[in-house]
Structure 1
Amino acid sequence: MKITVIAVGKIKEKYFTLAIDEYTKRLTRYCKLEIIELQDEKTPDNSSEATNLQIKAKEGDRILASIKDDAYVVALAIGGKMLDSVELSEKIAGLGVNGTSHIVFVIGGSLGLDDRILSRANYELSFSKMTFPHQMMRVILLEQVYRAYRIMGNEPYHK
């Protein structure tokens, strides 16, 4: 299975980079992982709703250009379905059993995802009703995907 993480924004903090590198290394045993880091748009202070929509649209263009037509797209969205770790593992395993060979997880920028991304998504996943910085969300997502593969393999990590 190929897992792609498309994320808007750069990782600036070394401790996030180290964590991402660690989970990337661990995941190579289970899947082919690709991380696509896209440029975020600068959001002016006190920007209008119209400006925010334009920013999300520009970021959305970049995201859509990075998604292959045959990919199963999982958008990370606050309004998405919340799963526990076992359910996420079952979701990923089920997709593989049903012939999906490429899953794309999309992490939006500071304003969230453009509606076109949510429309393109096959599934909307929420990790919490809280908002997390995209850098931290990338680490959390990779850790949960790693945990999912460990659960699938009946390996002890997830307990």
Structure 2
Amino acid sequence: MIRINIICIGKIKEKYFTDAISEYAKRLTAFCKFAVVELAEEKIRNNNPNEAEISEVIEAEGERILKKIGAGDYAVAMCIEGKQLSSEELSAMLDNAAITGKSTVDFIIGGSYGLSNKVKNRADFKLSMSKMTFPHQMARMVLSEQIYRAFEISTNGKYHK
């Protein structure tokens, strides 16, 4: 059974987001081993950081993310410059990862300042949810739903119509 990880920076505080993600995690047990790996947000010293401070944060968070990605994992960086996929295309991407022998797919959501270039360079695929910007908590919930939908599509389930 394939393993799907969402590797992300920060914790979700809003109960409605955690409840929704928990529901999709429960549904996903029929298709995969699903986990959300939350990594600590890098603390910034002031409320108006300069470029150097922001770069430090991105790099420190990136190093922690890279430690969670296995050498043979299929890594998907969630970033605005990534490619937008339909639900069917996401389903095909997950199917293809499994067919080509990948036992783990990692979806990576960075912190509030984004992902480091090292993480993006490690990624096998860069995925954008939209040209719009979403709060990271919402992105995590929507991604969880889309992963569930992708498995439903590949198994001809009733959820996706």
- TM-score category of the 2 structures, normalised to the smaller one: over 0.9
Kindly state the Cα deviation for residue 41 of structure 1 after the two structures are TM-superposed.
Answer: 1.6
CA RMSD of aligned residues (A): 0.9
- TM-superposed CA distance for 1:46, in Å, is 2.1
TM-score in terms of structure 2 length:
0.96
Instruction: Give SS of 1:127's match.
Output: coil
Question: What SS is found at the alignment partner of 1:41?
Answer: coil
1:36 alignment counterpart? 37
Q: Residues 64-91 of structure 1: CA distance to partner in whole angstroms, max 9, x if unpaired? A: 1111111110000000000000010011
| Counterparts of 1:79 and 1:136, CA distance in 2 | 19
TM-score (norm 1): 0.97
Structure 2 gap segments, 5+ residues each:
none
Quote the Cα distance in structure 2 between the aligned partners of 1:119 and 1:94: 20
SS of aligned partner of 2:159: helix
Higher mean C-alpha displacement, 57-66 vs 37-46: 37-46
Identical counterparts, % of pairs: 50
The residue type paired with residue 92 of structure 2 is E
Matches within 5 A, 1:9-28: 9-28=10-29
**For structure 1, which runs of at least 5 residues remain unmatched after alignment?**
none
Q: Distance in 2 between matches of 1:12 and 1:144?
A: 21
Q: How far apart in 2 are the matches of 1:107 and 1:90?
A: 21
Deviations along 1:128-155, one digit per CA (max 9) or x if unpaired, are: 1111111111101110000000000111
Give SS of 1:80's match: strand
Deviation at 1:95, TM superposition (A): 1.3
Deviation at 1:45, TM superposition (A): 2.4
Q: Cα deviation per residue 1:9-62 (whole Å; 9 max; x = unaligned)?
A: 111000011001100000000001121100112343221111100000111111
The amino acid across from 1:152 in the alignment is: S
**Count of residues in correspondence between the two structures:** 159
What residue is the counterpart of 2:58 in the other structure? 56
